[in-house]
Amino acid sequence: MDPEELKKKIARGDCKVVDNTSSKLKSSVWEKFRVISDEESNIVKGFAACKTCLKVFVFDSRRCGTSSLRKHADTCAGNKLTRSIEQYLSKGTELKVPRRDDKDTITRLSVNFVCNDIRPFDAVHGEGFFALAQGLIDVGAKAGRVDVKQLLPDPTTVSRGVNKYAEKIRQELIPELKMQLEGGNGAVTLDMWTDDYRKTSYLCVTLHYINNKWELIERVLCTSEWDSSLRKTADNIKPAIISALRKFGIDEFYSKLVYVTDRGANIVAALRTVTRLSCAAHIFNTVLYTTFKPSQEDMYGEEVTAMIDSAKSLVTYFKQTSLQARLKKTLKNSVETRWNSLHTMLESISNQFEDIRTLLEERGEVDRLTNLDEEALSDFVAYLERFKEATKALEASKTPTLHLTIVWYERIRRHLRASSNDSNIISSLKEKCLSILQDKFDIHRLHRLAMFLHPKLKSMKLIADSSEVASVHSEMRRLVKDLKDKRGSPEEHCHHPPPEKRVRVSADTLSDVEDSNDEAPQYQDEVAAYIDHKTPKDDHFEILSWWQDHAHLFPNIAQIARSILAIPASSAASERDFSCAGYVIQERSQLKPSTVDDVLFLHSNLKHHHHK
C-alpha cells in the first residue's frame, strides 16, 4: 500500500485518522501528526497523516526516524497559519528591544545605584535582579508612573518575607520529595562548617534525585545552626541529619538513602548503619596534600615543601605590598581545605614568573625566589593539572557524575606512570602519590553499577578483572528481578531495540575509555539486551536524555539508573552551599542563623520551584 492509496481510503471512509496513543511514539512531532486505522480499528503500521492537511507519509522509526514528518510540519501551510495566529495573539506580551537613549539612562542610574548605596557592580546582574526589574517595568506598564518608594517593601518586610516564603516552599516540597523517594530514588550529601565571622557552626544537608522528566535535581534542605552546647560526635550528628529530613516528612527514608561525605571520623561513624560513599574529589585532594608532606623515605620531600612554602610567602608578600597592583593578574594563595588551590597558586606564579622576577629585582629582593625555579614550577603545574580536571568533572551539579569515579581514578593512575620526560622530583612524587592513591581510594559496588549504566561504558573495559564485570552483571540482574517481583510482573524477553536518535545536549567526552560495540543481538533478557545494544556514537552525548529516550526499551534498568545516577561522585554541593553562606554572612553579619538557613534554602530551591 502506498500513501496515495491510503489517502483515497481515508477520503472514502475506509480508513480513519486517529490520535497516537502508543507509548513508544513520544516525539513532539506527534502533536502535529496522527496515525491511521483500518475498518477494524487496527493501526496501519508504517504511515502517519498530518493533522492539518491530512497528507499521508511513510513512517519508519527504525530507519528514518521522524525527520520527514518534522520537515512537513515546518512547511505545512496550515501549521504556518496556526503559528501566525498564535504570534498575533501573543503580540501584547512580547518584550520590546529598549531604545539606545533608554539604555543610557538605565546605565547612568545603575552607576548611581552602586556608588550611592556602595553595592558591588554585579548587583545589577543575576536572575533574581532581572525578575525584580522586569516586575517593576510590568507594574509601570499597567499602572503608569508610580511612586517606587511606596511600591518597594521595607527591608524588615523583605526579611519577614524570606522566612515566610521559605516555609511555604518547604511545605509545598513535602509531597514531591516523598513521591521521588518512594521509588528508592535519592542521595544526600552533607558536611559541617564554621563561619569565620561569628564562629557559628552549620550542618548542610543536600538532597539529590532524578525526577520524572529525567532532570537531575539538587536541593539544599538545610544549612542549620549546630547547637554549640553539643559536641560534634557521631551520636549527635545522626539525630541532626534525621531532624533535617523530618522537616520535609522524609525521615522514614533515612536508611534507604545513599550518603556522600568526606572521610571525617565523626560523620563516617554517624552513618555507619547506612550506605555511605566517600567524596571522590575530597580523596584526590587528600592524596595530593599527603604526597607533599615530607617523610623519611621521601628523597625530595624537603625540597618540595620548601618550594610550596616559598610560593605561599611570595603570594603573601605581594598582597601586603604595592607589587600585586603591578601584575596583570592576581596571585592566588593555597588553602589546604580548598580543592585545587595549590594548583591555582603555583599556576598564578608560573604564568607571571618573569614579571615577578623583574619586580623583585627592582627592589633588590630576588632572593625571595630562592626555592622557586621556573622550570620546576611549570612541571608542578602540569603534574597538578590532571587532578584539577578530575575534580572539576566530579563536582559537576547538572549532570550525573558517579559513573566518572572509576574513569578518573584510572586516568589519574595513568597520569602517575613514570615517564622518561619526568624530572627526578616529579618521578619521585608520582611514585609516592600512586601508592597513597591506591591505599586511600575506595571503589564501591555503586561506582561499578553507575559505570555499567552509562551506555558508552557498559562493557567496563577499564575493569581488568572479568569476574568483577560478571559480578556487576549478576547484581544488575538481581536488581531487575527485585523490581519485577515487587510489581509481580513475569520474566520477559527483550528484542534488540531500534537504533537510537542522535542527542546533542552537552558534551560527555569519554573517547579514551568508551565502548565500540556495533553488533546487533538476538533475543535476550533485559540486562543482556542492554549490554548488546548498539553503543551511541555521538560526540556530544547526554546520559539522562539517552535514558529518557530508551526507558521504554529497558524499563527496569531505567528505573535503577534513575536511582543510582542521582548519586553524586562528590560532596561539592555542600562546599558550594558553604561558599554562599560565607558570602551571605560577610555581607549581612547581623543575620540570625535561621535567616541564613532560609536565604540559602531559597537560593537553592527557587530555580526548581519555577518549573512546577
- The domains of the chain are located at 3-90, 100-152, 157-279+570-610, 284-442
| Residues 401, 393 contacting (CB under 8 angstroms) | yes
pLDDT at 414 over 70: yes
Q: How far apart are the first and last CA of the chain?
A: 46
Residue 120 class from Cβ within 10 Å (0-12 exposed, 13-18 middle, 19+ buried)? exposed
d(CA 243, CA 266): 17
In the Cβ-directed half-sphere of 327, how many Cα atoms lie within 13 Å? 24
In the Cβ-directed half-sphere of 478, how many Cα atoms lie within 13 Å? 7
d(CA 445, CA 485): 22
Nearest alpha carbon to residue 415 among 393, 377, 440, 387: 387
| Residues 518, 535 contacting (CB under 8 angstroms) | yes
The H-assigned helical ranges of 256-371 are 265-270, 280-292, 301-320, 341-350, 353-362
What phi, psi does 202 have (nearest 5°)? -135, 150
Give the domain 157-279+570-610 fold.
Nucleotidyltransferase; domain 5 (3.30.420)
Instruction: State the average pLDDT over residues 159-177.
Output: 92
What mean pLDDT, rounded, does the chain reach? Answer: 84
CATH code for the part of the protein at 100-152: 1.10.10.1070
Which residue did the predictor score with more confidence, 576 or 376?
376
| Domains 100-152 and 157-279+570-610 in one fold | no
pLDDT at 95 over 50: yes
Instruction: State the average pLDDT over residues 15-28.
Output: 69
Instruction: State the average pLDDT over residues 16-30.
Output: 69
Nearest alpha carbon to residue 386 among 288, 474, 308: 288
| Residues 405, 569 contacting (CB under 8 angstroms) | yes
d(CA 190, CA 207): 9
d(CA 496, CA 524): 8
Instruction: State the average pLDDT over residues 331-335.
Output: 88
Amino acid at 316: T
**pLDDT over 70 percentage in the chain:** 85
d(CA 123, CA 12): 67
Instruction: State the average pLDDT over residues 546-557.
Output: 94
In this structure, what DSSP letter does residue 230 have? Answer: S
What phi, psi does 45 have (nearest 5°)? -70, 145
pTM over 0.85: no
Instruction: State the average pLDDT over residues 333-346.
Output: 85
pLDDT at 260 over 90: yes
Reported as a pLDDT band with limits 50, 70 and 90, residue 79 is low
Beta bridge pairs of residue 219: 207
Amino acid at 60: D
pLDDT tens per residue across span 492-539: 444 444 433 333 334 455 666 666 554 444 445 899 999 999 887 777
Q: What is the pLDDT of residue 18?
A: 78
| Residues 237, 227 contacting (CB under 8 angstroms) | no
| Residues 470, 478 contacting (CB under 8 angstroms) | no
Which residue did the predictor score with more confidence, 195 or 272?
272
Nearest alpha carbon to residue 208 among 253, 252, 267, 164: 253
pLDDT tens per residue across span 109-158: 999 988 998 888 888 888 889 989 999 998 988 888 889 999 999 988 98
d(CA 536, CA 514): 10
Instruction: State the average pLDDT over residues 237-248.
Output: 95
How many other β-carbons are positioned within 10 Å of the β-carbon of residue 316? 12
d(CA 492, CA 553): 12
- Among the ranges given (203-212, 340-349, 588-597, 600-609), the one the predictor scored with the smallest mean pLDDT: 588-597
Which residue did the predictor score with more confidence, 175 or 538?
175
pLDDT at 1 over 70: no
Nearest alpha carbon to residue 462 among 418, 507, 416, 414: 414
In this structure, what DSSP letter does residue 123 have? Answer: G
Instruction: State the average pLDDT over residues 80-93.
Output: 48
Amino acid at 315: V
| Residues 476, 458 contacting (CB under 8 angstroms) | no
d(CA 335, CA 86): 56
Instruction: State the average pLDDT over residues 307-331.
Output: 93
The DSSP H or E segment spanning 127 is helix 127-143
Q: What is the pLDDT of residue 362?
A: 93
Instruction: State the average pLDDT over residues 418-433.
Output: 91
Amino acid at 238: K
Work out the angle at residue 545's Cα, subtended by the Cα atoms of residues 550 and 518, and round it to the nearest 5 degrees.
Answer: 55
Number of H-type helices and E-type strands within the chain: 23, 9
pLDDT at 228 over 50: yes
Largest CA distance in the chain: 99
Amino acid at 128: G
| Residues 356, 369 contacting (CB under 8 angstroms) | yes
Residue 258 in 3-state DSSP?
Answer: strand
**pLDDT over 90 percentage in the chain:** 49
pLDDT at 398 over 90: no
Q: What is the pLDDT of residue 30?
A: 75
d(CA 460, CA 453): 10
Grid coordinates standing for 373? 625555579
- Among the ranges given (153-167, 391-405, 533-547, 553-567), the one the predictor scored with the smallest mean pLDDT: 533-547
Grid coordinates standing for 508? 560527555
Work out the angle at residue 397's Cα, subtended by the Cα atoms of residues 395 and 403, and round it to the nearest 5 degrees.
Answer: 65
d(CA 298, CA 44): 76
- Among the ranges given (74-88, 188-202, 582-596), the one the predictor scored with the smallest mean pLDDT: 74-88
List of E strands, 51-138: 56-58
CA distances to 162, 243, 366, 450, 456 from 535, rounded to whole Å, are: 48, 44, 58, 16, 6
